[in-house]
Structure 1
Amino acid sequence: MSSVTFADLVAIYRATRFDTEDGGILTIATEEMAATLSAIMENDDLYADAQISVEGDAELKAGAQIRVNVGRPNVAKMGLLVSSFDELFGSPGAVLEEPVRYFVKEPGFASGDEPAPEVLLRYRAVLTVVSILRETASLVDETLRQLIFIGKEKLIVPIQFGQRDLLGDVVTEAERLNKLFAVELHVDEKRTILQTTLIEMVGSMRSDKRFGFIIRNLGRLADEVEKGYRLFTSSFSYSKIRNEVEAARLEFVAKIHKTIVDIQGQLLGIPIATIVVVSQLKEVKGCDVAFWTNLGVFLGAWIFVGMLTIAGLNQWKTLAAIGQEVERQQKRLDDDFAMVADQFTDVFVDLTTRIDWHRRALIGVGIILTVGALATTVAFFKLAPSGSWACLAPWR
């Protein structure tokens, strides 16, 4: 045999029960496999490429069980032999693209095998994300396997990950990101949004933890990029959002203040009514003019309280409606512009505080009215002699 291919080596790997890192017991399955082993043992160049040797003087024939030493083959000429998928993902070049030829001892998987295990499907999905990040990065250091982003600050992201990072619905989230960048329209703006999001997400983390965190949070990354792009395509800028929020704030403030202004005339009537009550109530001797004057003042006071109570309740409901509208506007801002929503929290806090203050003012007015009305009632009955209600009898 003049040459040995990686497929020949894979057949040997599959037939070997590895009991150490560098070898195990090989059951020679076919005469072709026996011929391959003989060629490797007899040809120094083939051995240098295959890195397989037979221990002892066992006869190489189909059905024989022999002990073999299995080293790492020449990657360029043969392929990649690794113990696990973690080792595959950490091998040079594998973080940028899937190696053409490889064999994973555990679980005995070779490139091209079908069906591919779930971890490999997730790995392939991650490679599509890596491709997008490479196009987005300001610099790509393939030797050190690093992505360098230069925005408001410099961010270095070493491309390193393992099976523990390939959890969750990586495939679906990677597809979301790929669909967004598959359309060439505004691709430069999308990359700017992605770069800004990455710097915010992992800028404060240790460099060796950054890429794994990105993969574990692909859903969040896709969400932020989608929201940022929606913000861009809607022709919204930060200043425009700020202006619109400020305009809404002024409108809400005017509505809130109007709740007091609308009943301001009635509120000013409270001290006037108090003076009237104090000055007009007189001691009653019988069914004389003083009794009817006191009764008129008494009824007028309660009518005033009733009317102001109705106006106050109406304004209370108006404040409730304004409060609901403020909450709706805040939720809309959070849903549509989540990337900048936090910067407008103070506006909504101020509006909520104003609404609460006006509610307390209405409660205070209600308490004053109640106290005044009760005081008027007590004074009326104190000044009216016993039996004075007979003055109201229709037969008089």
Structure 2
Amino acid sequence: MADIGFADLVEIYRHTSFDGKGGGTLTIANEGIADTLRAIETDQDLYDLTQISLVHQRDPMVGTQVAINVAAPSLKLGFLAATFDALFLSPGAAFTEPTDYFVADLNYAAGDNPVPEVLARYRALLTVVAALKHAASYVVELQRELVFIGNENVVVPIVFTQADLRESLIAGATRLGRLFEDSLHGQEKADLLAAAVIELVSGQRQAKRFQFIIANLDSLCEEVEKGYRLFVSSFSYSKIRKEIETARLDYINKIHKTIVDIQGQLLGIPVATIVVASQLKISRNCGLEFWTNCAVLLGAWIFVALLGLSVRNQWHTLAMLAGEITGQRARFEDDYAAVSNDFVDVFDDLDDRIKWHRFVLVAVSGLAIVGALVATVAFLMLTEVGSARCLVGGAGSSRI
């Protein structure tokens, strides 16, 4: 079987004067047309695919005119339509423009330039259908229907003719498209469009609903725009302020908790200092005073070590909170860029609090270390030189 594509059929269609009765007169303008006809005449499968045949059996010659029968070819090749109205009824044409087609009354094939006005309006209508399809509760493509479910179920058949494609359609489709070109709040916009469609066509006969939508596209866009402005207004300045303040209080509580969690140990610093000051005694030999002083000093340094571990954990907690606050600041500046400068002080205050608490942790650690060093100095001052040999002697005794 010869390789014949829809472009070969378009060449025949362009040179045919259709009679509107399933046939016409073909002018064989070139050898390519003649070869296509010969291939079809000698191959039943090609005829079944192309639905073109000569009325009188004869060898097609270039420069002659022949009477032919022409019917719609297989959809595998493309679609032959007498008018654009017929094209609009082709399978799938309610949602997407067919890939290959030829419209006889305008002698127009897909891809030709310039584009006729009716096709430009049809393409604009398809953008409207795409928006409605996105907003619909579900779509029955085979029956060319959109179903919207709200307070009532509304079925909108996608039925239209060339006469329904008004001049204002392109501007209306552009207006509707602008509403959805920004993906922000896309689902909310779709819900608003669905509600507007239900309200607009619920009183119309089902068969005429889509034409009514097209005719009142500006009104539909206006309703969606009003609804979206009302929706956006719910994100008012005061609401944003409230959300930020709520987040601020939450972070303040978390920051303060880093000190609260170790306040018991912090209170232990002066207690430990008093204990050390009251328990250290003058030691002149390896008696009870010396070993008591050693125990007190060891306890002081153990307290410092445990406090250091707690401070280290709280330092990491503050670092994590600082990272969260930085991320929140970045997201807020992206989502609410127009008012972000009004809330800079909130994030700056949180940063200052974290810096202050870090300073407190450092100061506490330093104070504990100073206390332990003072205890060590006091131990050394209260312990005579000879008493220090008790450690060596005690160790030596333990090895005997």
TM-score, normalised to structure 2's length?
A: 0.58
Which residue identity is paired with 1:227?
Answer: K
1:62 paired residue number: 62
Which residue identity is paired with 2:117?
Answer: E
Say yes or no: does 1:231 pair with 2:227: no
- Distance in 1 (CA, whole Å) between partners of 2:109 and 2:30 is 19
1:190 paired residue number: 189
Which runs of 5 or more residues in structure 1 are unaligned? 238-396
| 1:164-200 residue CA offsets vs partner (Å, 9 max, x unmatched) | 1101311111011111111111111111111111111
- Distance in 2 (CA, whole Å) between partners of 1:216 and 1:163 is 13
Say yes or no: does 1:111 pair with 2:96: no
3-state SS of the aligned residue for 1:147? strand
3-state SS of the aligned residue for 1:106? helix
1:48 paired residue number: 48
Aligned pairs for 1:1-396 (under 5 A) are 2-76=2-76, 78-235=77-234
- Distance in 2 (CA, whole Å) between partners of 1:166 and 1:118 is 10
1:269 paired residue number: none
- Distance in 1 (CA, whole Å) between partners of 2:19 and 2:134 is 43
Distance apart, 1:58 and its partner CA? 3.2
Paired residues of 1:165 and 1:212 also in contact (CA < 8 A): yes
1:357 paired residue number: none
3-state SS of the aligned residue for 2:148? strand
Which residue identity is paired with 2:135?
Answer: T
3-state SS of the aligned residue for 1:200? helix
Which residue identity is paired with 1:87?
Answer: A
Distance apart, 1:42 and its partner CA? 0.4
Which residue identity is paired with 1:66?
Answer: V
Distance apart, 1:215 and its partner CA? 1.0
Paired residues of 1:168 and 1:216 also in contact (CA < 8 A): no
Which runs of 5 or more residues in structure 2 are unaligned? 237-400
- Distance in 2 (CA, whole Å) between partners of 1:53 and 1:3 is 17
Distance apart, 1:59 and its partner CA? 3.0
- Distance in 2 (CA, whole Å) between partners of 1:21 and 1:84 is 14
- Distance in 1 (CA, whole Å) between partners of 2:70 and 2:224 is 47
- Distance in 2 (CA, whole Å) between partners of 1:177 and 1:109 is 29
Paired residues of 2:34 and 2:61 also in contact (CA < 8 A): yes
Distance apart, 1:94 and its partner CA? 0.3
- Distance in 2 (CA, whole Å) between partners of 1:174 and 1:157 is 18
Distance apart, 1:8 and its partner CA? 0.5
Larger radius of gyration: 2
- Distance in 2 (CA, whole Å) between partners of 1:131 and 1:103 is 24
| 1:83-117 residue CA offsets vs partner (Å, 9 max, x unmatched) | 10011112221001000000001111100001111
3-state SS of the aligned residue for 1:191? helix
| 1:180-238 residue CA offsets vs partner (Å, 9 max, x unmatched) | 1111111111111111111111001111100011111111111111111111111299x
Aligned-residue CA RMSD (Å): 1.4
Structure 1 segments (4+ residues) deviating >4 Å: none
Which residue identity is paired with 1:129?
Answer: V
- Distance in 2 (CA, whole Å) between partners of 1:14 and 1:21 is 17
Paired residues of 2:124 and 2:170 also in contact (CA < 8 A): yes
- Distance in 2 (CA, whole Å) between partners of 1:111 and 1:97 is 13
Count of matched residue positions in the alignment of Structure 1 and Structure 2: 236
- Distance in 2 (CA, whole Å) between partners of 1:57 and 1:110 is 28
Paired residues of 1:3 and 1:46 also in contact (CA < 8 A): no
Which residue identity is paired with 1:153?
Answer: E
1:242 paired residue number: none
- Distance in 2 (CA, whole Å) between partners of 1:46 and 1:59 is 17
- Distance in 1 (CA, whole Å) between partners of 2:33 and 2:163 is 37
Paired residues of 1:126 and 1:170 also in contact (CA < 8 A): yes
TM-score, normalised to structure 1's length?
A: 0.58
Which residue identity is paired with 2:198?
Answer: I
3-state SS of the aligned residue for 2:105? coil
3-state SS of the aligned residue for 2:19? strand
Paired residues of 2:38 and 2:59 also in contact (CA < 8 A): no
3-state SS of the aligned residue for 2:102? strand
- Distance in 1 (CA, whole Å) between partners of 2:105 and 2:21 is 11
- Distance in 2 (CA, whole Å) between partners of 1:46 and 1:181 is 46
3-state SS of the aligned residue for 1:98? coil
- Distance in 2 (CA, whole Å) between partners of 1:62 and 1:4 is 19
| 1:339-370 residue CA offsets vs partner (Å, 9 max, x unmatched) | xxxxxxxxxxxxxxxxxxxxxxxxxxxxxxxx
Paired residues of 1:72 and 1:81 also in contact (CA < 8 A): yes
- Distance in 2 (CA, whole Å) between partners of 1:7 and 1:57 is 24
Identity %: 51
| 1:136-155 residue CA offsets vs partner (Å, 9 max, x unmatched) | 11010011111000011100
- Distance in 2 (CA, whole Å) between partners of 1:160 and 1:91 is 11
- Distance in 1 (CA, whole Å) between partners of 2:227 and 2:68 is 57
Distance apart, 1:43 and its partner CA? 0.6
| 1:290-329 residue CA offsets vs partner (Å, 9 max, x unmatched) | xxxxxxxxxxxxxxxxxxxxxxxxxxxxxxxxxxxxxxxx
1:371 paired residue number: none
